[in-house]
Amino acid sequence: MRVGMGFDVHRLVAGRELWLCGVKLEHDKGLLGHSDADVAIHALCDALLGAAALGDIGKHFPDNDPQYRGIDSRILLRNVVKLLTIQGYTMVNCDITICAEQPRIGPHVPAMRAELARVIGCSSNNVSVKATTTERLGFTGREEGIAAYAVVLIDNK
Ligand code: MG
C-alpha cells in the first residue's frame, strides 16, 4: 500500500464556469486555467500520481499543450487512473478537502462523490469530499481563488 498527497490552487475570475469534482456549480465566478480548472480533480490526480511516484499532472498534461486547452478534467483523471492501472495499482480510497468561501460546497458533496466514483470506477464509499472556508482569511477567504488538497491510498495487486 502506498499513500499520496496532492495540492492545487486556481484563481477565481468572472466569465468562467465553476467546475469542482466534475460537477458544475452555479456561481458568479469560475476558476481560471488552461483546462476547465477543476482544482479538486487536479489535486486528486497529483495525489494518485504521487502515490505511484509517477510525477505530477504538469508532467503528464502540460498546460502549454494545445490538446489540453479547455479539457474536461475528468478526462485527465481517467487517464491518471489508467496510468496507475498499467502499473498494477488500484485506488483504495481518497479524501479531498476543498477550501472556498463561496459558493457553499456542502449541498453538492453527494453529487461530487458519485461523479468522481463513476470516473475512477470505484464505489462512492471510497471517495470522500469535504469543504471548509478559511474564515475569510487569505486568498481563499477573499474569494480570489479556491484551493484543494487530496490524500489517497493505492494498493498494488
Ligand atoms: Mg491545476
What average pLDDT does the structure give for the chain? Answer: 97
CA of 69 to the centre of ligand 1 (A): 12
- Other C-beta atoms closer than 10 Å to the C-beta of 110 total 12
CA of 46 to the centre of ligand 1 (A): 9
pTM: 0.97
CA of 55 to the centre of ligand 1 (A): 14
- Other C-beta atoms closer than 10 Å to the C-beta of 129 total 27
Give the position of cell 483546462: 35
Res. 157: pLDDT tops 80: no
CA of 41 to the centre of ligand 1 (A): 8
Asked if 145 and 30 touch (Cβ cutoff 8 Å), the reply is no
CA of 155 to the centre of ligand 1 (A): 25
CA of 43 to the centre of ligand 1 (A): 7
Q: Model confidence over 35-64: pLDDT tens digits?
A: 999 999 999 999 999 999 999 999 999 988
